[in-house]
Structure 1
Amino acid sequence: MKKNIFLFLIAFTAQNFFSQEITFQKIYTGYYYGKNIAGIKSLNNGETYATIEPTGIAKYDYKTSTKSGNIADGNFESYEFSKDEAKILLQKESEQIYRHSFLGKFDVKDLKSGKTIQINNGNFIQEPSFSPNGTKVAFIMDNNLYYQDLNSEKITQITKDGSKNKILNGLADWVYEEEFGHAKQYEWDAAGNAIVFVKSDETEVPEMYIPIYGKQLYPSEMRYKYPKAGEKNSKVSAYLYQLDSQKTMMVNLGEFKNYYIPSVIRTAKADEIILITSLRTQNASDVLKVNTKTGIAKKLFTETDEKWIDTDNVTMEFLDDNSFIWGAERDGNRHLYWYNEDGSLKKQITKGDWEVTDYYGYNPKTEEVFIQTTEKGSINKVVSKVSLKTGKSQLLSKSEGNNSGDFSKNYNYFIETSSSAKMPYVYTLKDENGKTLKELRNNDEALKKIKADGFVEKEFFTIPNSVGDQMNAWIIKPKNFDKNKKYPVFMYQYSGPGSQTVANSWDYGNTVWFNMLAQKGYVIVCVDGRGTGYKGTKYKKSTYMNLGKYEIEDQITAAKWLGNQSYVDKSRIGIFGWSFGGYMASLAMTKGADVFKAGIAVAPVTNWRYYDSVYTERFLRTPQENPAGYDTNSPTEFAKMMKGNFLLIHGTADDNVHFQNSMEFSEALIQANKQFEFMAYPDKNHGIYGGFTRPQLYQKMTDFILEKL
């Protein structure tokens, strides 16, 4: 019997691999996977760089692009050099906690002596970082802050009140980590004599509990603090620890906007740290400078916006003279501004009807900043350099696609990582003027495989919405598309504030699956409506206080526009989304029930009252201030309008969008006497993966589409 099953699997695998079409077998065995270059970091000399390879941390020469050996031998997940590059911090293993946080085991290797020591005796820690002089490593264990002297190996405990679900020192709580984008909440000053850290008291934050089933007689529980919209958040405060005196003092923030402390940043000066603080409304942030000798905080300036500030997207880079570069959306697009050390504005660096999407650094010799922008169209991202004096810009990358740069410390070279909707990632070595020196790696083989199986490139176009905006869109048509036939349409979107799903970049994930659906006769379309990013703040912030209202109007408008095209069967339009996209798919099947025949909502928010405070209140304020903004855009309020075929999917251990959302929506649909399909994934989080989960999930969605659309 076992032999027969084995022979069947061999035959099944061979059949799937040799067929000239995209199959689940090929997608989930990595048949189309490409190659990358991991962990690129320039060394101080600007002429060599390091990468992560299976055998260790490798060293390469920019000029010749040849490998000169390993800096450290072994299998490492990440690394960090000390400022003088005399030592290297090596991450050997990890255990994920939430999206950004993890427990890790770390070693420090002295690159001169070759000696290796364990941090915290080889026990798990969080967020380690070198002191600027490279003699110490700070880290967090059990919510307390420590540092280890690398010469004596002595460990000093800075805080002692850390406690799970109560007090965190130097470490972000769940909502800070998820919405401000990082777990580390401390920083060394430039002299290495002091550490400024944030203490979060989450004692009064309501607790969320999630049953964990596993293979056990009685389920266990995961409990953590989760502030939902309008509820209590952690009480945050800032502290200064001075190493010489071993004294800790509170930084007085009473005069400033201090409800949130999203960022702690080192300046170029020996005895200063920047704290960025914010109102709960997130429409005003103070930029504060803390003197690490006295503990006194001084305000440099306040950033304000009539709607919100992206407190999760801070650009602040200090130059050698302690002037600094700051990113802001003041003129309708995200641009860079140059400030004096005292917080007075020197000038706006970049201008134009486009956005700065990333900041790479400043070359003091040429007085130029290196950035990524959308200056070649909102669906493209390019790399440029801009003169700090004249504002003159020079394009360094390809003018189309998604391009990013890893620059050498002397800015004589950079490694460009490029992709487009038709081309997987290519790694190219270029000089400071964008001249190609050598292609380091491409993914021609992966592209050849997927093209041989009938891959169809996305076509980009725009669709008008009801107020005259041209919404970015892409379409994937069946290989042998016939304009005289009528095709069913399957729409995909995310639609969340500042997001982008219509981008000229390579997307291995869903795009391959969409191509498989196209091979089965479906037209796949994606539309970025109001609220999405990279088209200016007016477009992005038009959904303020009414999250979901205009986004679903635009998806319905897009579906109706598609239905009027000669090649579309308007009676067979479906929609799919995950997380915010699942919220939108749920609204589409209720508010847009007369337009959409089928919908799939994965891990959806179904009422913003159930989601976290920082994200939700940024766009809606609190439920107490704006109850209509919460309830009138909730799918549960429109359950009685549900028509068509609806598949609801959620992981029971989702710590981000809680399973509660789908339970509440299910109950509303049940009480409205609506039939729908529901799939729960036991002990799976927001990503719904692990083992054979993803193939099973996507097979289920495929079967649903083939049957219902």
Structure 2
Amino acid sequence: MTSRQQHSFPRQYARTQRFTLGAPRSFTVAPDGSRVVFLRSPSGTSRANRLWVLDLSGPGGAAGPEGPAVEREVADPEALLGGADEELSAEERARRERTREGSGGIVGYAVDAAVELAAFTLSGRLFTAELRAGTVRELPAPGPVIDPRPAPDGRHLAYVVDGALRVIGAEGDGDRELAAPEDGHVTYGLAEFIAAEEMGRTRGFWWSPESDRLLVARADDRAVRRWWISDPAHPDRRPAEVAYPAAGTDNAEVRLLLLGLDGSRTEVEWDRERYPYLARVHWSAAGPPLLLVQSRDQRSLRYLAVDSESGATRTVREDTDPVWLELLPGVPAWTPDGRLVRITDQGDEEGGARVLAVGDRVLTGAATQICAVLDIGADDLLVSATAGEAADAPETGEVHVYRVGERGAERISEGPGVHGAVRSGGVTVLVSAVPGEPGSRARVLRDGERVAELVSYAERPALSPRLTLTEAGPDRIPCAVLLPSAWREGDGPLPVLLDPYGGPHGRRVLAAHHPHLTSQWFAEQGFAVVVADGRGTPGRSPAWEKAIAGRLTRTLDDQVAALRALAGRFPLDLDRVAIRGWSFGGWLAGLAVLRRPDVFHAAVVGAPVTDQRLYDTHYTERYLGLPQEAPEAYAANSLVTDDGLAAPENPARPMMIVHGLADDNVVMAHTLRLSSALLAAGRPHEVLPLTGVTHITPQEQVAENLLLLQVDFLKRSLGLPRD
């Protein structure tokens, strides 16, 4: 690979935000099937998302397949801001960090029940868009506005500013405060840190179907331990105060209130001491408000129906598990006829299945592992799922969309790939990413027939993966192997780079093109790259995920097992093996060179959780319990203890530790403690601090140069020729 080619991909990868810019995203389908709303930036390098509508109406405006589908731009942030740069409040930046949102412009929107009115923010200002007419107006709301949402009837909007929940008329009239924080520790209508970071609940208020009341979360973080994140590059700036609930410490106290537009206020009652986590809220015309609350040890979930007059709750169902229960997208919810929809784990410890249940009936079996409920119709449900261990044939890395009814599951996505969907009113947006083609396709189907395909402006990458998806060893560990495009049989073995995430909620072995681009770029530098999804990663079975309970280090055992099993089938030089990773993958890379220096000879350790006591409650306690009750588990799974630093007779291996100084998720203290422990043990290492960088690295120059520095370190550490 020439020097220009070596640099071109990192630059393109950074400039396009991993080739996501310009691709349509965030789809909503109108219930009458007349239009699809979505976001898309105008080019593959523009970060400013615009709001678009795809009209599916036939002649005269009647919904139908008769007329051609037409894309309309509804809102352009540059025009609405008069060309001014966006200004984000600290609260908005934090919200985007929790969702790993790196783009700009209109990054999210909410709609009324008819999908005729959309609401969004720009620079903390409140805008609405009439989706049929394509007109946009700014409402005179105090700012900075966060998370505006229209009522189902479209007559009012609720939003949050400075921790207070407010309501304004859709015409800009009658703005008023429904709930104001009593002090600086309380917020109304926002998801607290743990809900947004770990539970997948990014919102804090929900409209009633009648549009006259709201369920509103009240979060009080006064008991949460305070941390301070400073920017050493700017000593003149005050450190940022962060309420961070580390493992074993207090969480924010979360309550739920029923607030009426008439000023009424009723608190929702449940056993918050036993079930402190408010995980999900669902409110539809099909039944009473529905809550999913979770115990702190995450072994019990309770489904609660709310009396919307008194605030009292009754238990609809309770699920328990001796290890833990996952929180999954799209559930719980009611079917149109009032039955409870949930996803639950069934089966023995050897495998089991994650199944879809409606009312008292389980509708799927061990042949599929349900990942999410995508839509609930009158006659069926739309779900995403992977092939379970009981499937007839392995589908390594594939995710499919199924229609599930009383007669079982029917797959509607075709061919190897990673598929997802949004559906309403007989119209489905099917989004598919496949191994042999760059990007993804967003096809619009009506009653199963394609009527349109949304245009993507995403750039084509400068390279394509030379990808083999396979399984390794007796445990059938899902793996992806990538070789240099120029490598041919007879060229001999290659130095190996393991490139995993390798942990919970982080599946990397996917039957798609883009997830493997960075791995392929490393392959082009002369490596055989191996990505392995061992125990703890999702999509295989509940037992596969839960095998790491108390022992996160089992993930390293599976990396070693996959490496050795693949060595007989691929040109892997086991005398030159490196590993790189970020976040959990960074912890795994550090663990690899400290615990198994007989296998691993160098590591890039990115944003690692080195001391498990410094990571948050909901994540860490799920796997290790409370540190007060299981200190030995925390020691055994940390990198900064005697166990973590391994026996002194083990040879030291080169480590490059990379961390963003502004990271409020995995704070810089993790890397500093590891570096201090390594120094005390006399182990050489390198630390690369990233000024102004959080847990994600959207900055173009940082993202580009970080790849180049990593490959230089790896070649230097393994004694390979450097360009």
| Distance (whole Å) between structure 2 residues aligned to residue 68 and residue 563 of structure 1 | 50
Q: Deviations over 1:34-74 (max 9, x none)?
A: 75223432223213323335575333227355316455566
| Distance (whole Å) between structure 2 residues aligned to residue 461 and residue 207 of structure 1 | 46
Residue 82 (1) aligns with residue 112 (2)? yes
Q: Is the 8 A contact 1:326 1:336 kept in 2?
A: yes
Residue 512 (1) aligns with residue 542 (2)? no
Q: Is the 8 A contact 1:494 1:581 kept in 2?
A: yes
Task: Name the CA shift for 1:208/1:255 in 2 (closer, same or farther; >3 Å).
Answer: closer
Equivalent of 1:500 in 507, 514, 529: 507
Q: Deviations over 1:543-574 (max 9, x none)?
A: 1122x221111112233344566732211000
Higher mean Cα deviation, 62-71 or 293-302?
Answer: 62-71
Letter in 1 for 2:468: E
Equivalent of 1:324 in 322, 326, 340: 340
Equivalent of 2:382 in 353, 358, 370: 370
Task: Name the CA shift for 1:163/1:212 in 2 (closer, same or farther; >3 Å).
Answer: farther
Unaligned segments of structure 1, at least 5 residues: 1-14, 95-103, 340-344
Equivalent of 1:473 in 473, 479, 504: 479
Residue 286 of structure 1 corresponds to 302
Residue 670 (1) aligns with residue 670 (2)? no
Q: Is the 8 A contact 1:497 1:541 kept in 2?
A: no
Secondary structure at 1:425's aligned position in 2? coil
Secondary structure at 1:161's aligned position in 2? coil
| Distance (whole Å) between structure 2 residues aligned to residue 275 and residue 703 of structure 1 | 51
Residue 66 of structure 1 corresponds to 69
Name the TM-score, length of structure 2 as normaliser.
0.84
Residue 584 of structure 1 corresponds to 588
Residue 394 (1) aligns with residue 394 (2)? no
Secondary structure at 1:590's aligned position in 2? helix
| Distance (whole Å) between structure 2 residues aligned to residue 662 and residue 595 of structure 1 | 23
Higher mean Cα deviation, 259-268 or 63-72?
Answer: 63-72
Q: Is the 8 A contact 2:330 2:374 kept in 1?
A: no
| Distance (whole Å) between structure 1 residues aligned to residue 419 and residue 279 of structure 2 | 28
Q: Deviations over 1:563-621 (max 9, x none)?
A: 56673221100011100000000110111111111111000001211100011111111
Residue 242 of structure 1 corresponds to 260
Residue 254 of structure 1 corresponds to 271
Secondary structure at 2:109's aligned position in 1? strand
Equivalent of 1:350 in 364, 389, 393: 364
Q: Is the 8 A contact 2:662 2:694 kept in 1?
A: yes
| Distance (whole Å) between structure 1 residues aligned to residue 207 and residue 602 of structure 2 | 54
| Distance (whole Å) between structure 2 residues aligned to residue 385 and residue 31 of structure 1 | 33
Q: Following TM superposition, by how much is the alpha carbon of 1:31 offset from its aligned partner in structure 2, in angstroms?
A: 11
Secondary structure at 2:678's aligned position in 1? helix
Residue 81 of structure 2 corresponds to none
| Distance (whole Å) between structure 1 residues aligned to residue 145 and residue 682 of structure 2 | 51
Residue 707 of structure 1 corresponds to 716
Residue 178 of structure 1 corresponds to 197
Q: Is the 8 A contact 1:50 1:59 kept in 2?
A: yes
Residue 410 (1) aligns with residue 417 (2)? no
| Distance (whole Å) between structure 2 residues aligned to residue 304 and residue 385 of structure 1 | 27
Q: Deviations over 1:424-444 (max 9, x none)?
A: 234253645645555555789
Q: Is the 8 A contact 2:231 2:239 kept in 1?
A: yes
Q: Is the 8 A contact 1:653 1:682 kept in 2?
A: yes
Residue 661 (1) aligns with residue 661 (2)? no
Q: Deviations over 1:142-200 (max 9, x none)?
A: 11222113356112212223544x11222122222101123312212212222222222
Secondary structure at 1:588's aligned position in 2? helix
| Distance (whole Å) between structure 2 residues aligned to residue 674 and residue 571 of structure 1 | 21
RMSD, aligned CA: 2.8
Residue 35 of structure 2 corresponds to 48
Residue 245 of structure 2 corresponds to 227
Equivalent of 2:556 in 547, 552, 555: 552
Secondary structure at 2:353's aligned position in 1? coil
Task: Name the CA shift for 1:381/1:85 in 2 (closer, same or farther; >3 Å).
Answer: closer
Q: Following TM superposition, by how much is the alpha carbon of 1:227 offset from its aligned partner in structure 2, in angstroms?
A: 0.8
Residue 539 of structure 2 corresponds to 534
% identity of equivalent residues: 21
Residue 158 (1) aligns with residue 178 (2)? yes
| Distance (whole Å) between structure 1 residues aligned to residue 639 and residue 624 of structure 2 | 16
Task: Name the CA shift for 1:49/1:116 in 2 (closer, same or farther; >3 Å).
Answer: closer
Q: Is the 8 A contact 2:36 2:55 kept in 1?
A: yes
Q: Following TM superposition, by how much is the alpha carbon of 1:462 offset from its aligned partner in structure 2, in angstroms?
A: 1.4
Residue 193 (1) aligns with residue 212 (2)? yes
Unaligned segments of structure 2, at least 5 residues: 43-49, 58-64, 79-104, 388-393, 719-723
Structure number with greater CO (CA < 8 Å, separation at least 6) is 2
| Distance (whole Å) between structure 2 residues aligned to residue 113 and residue 479 of structure 1 | 51
Q: Deviations over 1:645-691 (max 9, x none)?
A: 11111111110111111111111111111111111112211113425
Secondary structure at 2:587's aligned position in 1? helix
Q: Following TM superposition, by how much is the alpha carbon of 1:21 offset from its aligned partner in structure 2, in angstroms?
A: 9.2
- The alignment of Structure 1 onto Structure 2 pairs a total of residues equal to 657
Q: Following TM superposition, by how much is the alpha carbon of 1:324 offset from its aligned partner in structure 2, in angstroms?
A: 3.2
Task: Name the CA shift for 1:666/1:642 in 2 (closer, same or farther; >3 Å).
Answer: farther
Q: Following TM superposition, by how much is the alpha carbon of 1:25 offset from its aligned partner in structure 2, in angstroms?
A: 4.2
Q: Is the 8 A contact 1:488 1:569 kept in 2?
A: yes
Q: Is the 8 A contact 2:281 2:290 kept in 1?
A: yes
Q: Following TM superposition, by how much is the alpha carbon of 1:236 offset from its aligned partner in structure 2, in angstroms?
A: 2.1
User: 5 Å matches for 1:263-342?
Assistant: 263-269=280-286, 272-311=288-327, 313=329, 315-331=331-347, 332-339=352-359
Secondary structure at 2:545's aligned position in 1? helix
| Distance (whole Å) between structure 1 residues aligned to residue 681 and residue 615 of structure 2 | 24
User: 5 Å matches for 1:628-639?
Assistant: 628-637=632-641, 638-639=644-645
Name the TM-score, length of structure 1 as normaliser.
0.86
User: 5 Å matches for 1:486-497?
Assistant: 486-497=493-504
| Distance (whole Å) between structure 2 residues aligned to residue 420 and residue 686 of structure 1 | 28
Equivalent of 2:373 in 354, 359, 363: 359
Q: Is the 8 A contact 1:382 1:399 kept in 2?
A: no
Residue 134 (1) aligns with residue 154 (2)? yes
Residue 526 of structure 2 corresponds to 521
Residue 11 of structure 1 corresponds to none
Q: Following TM superposition, by how much is the alpha carbon of 1:301 offset from its aligned partner in structure 2, in angstroms?
A: 1.2
Q: Is the 8 A contact 2:266 2:310 kept in 1?
A: no
Task: Name the CA shift for 1:569/1:318 in 2 (closer, same or farther; >3 Å).
Answer: same
Q: Is the 8 A contact 1:580 1:604 kept in 2?
A: yes
Letter in 1 for 2:150: F
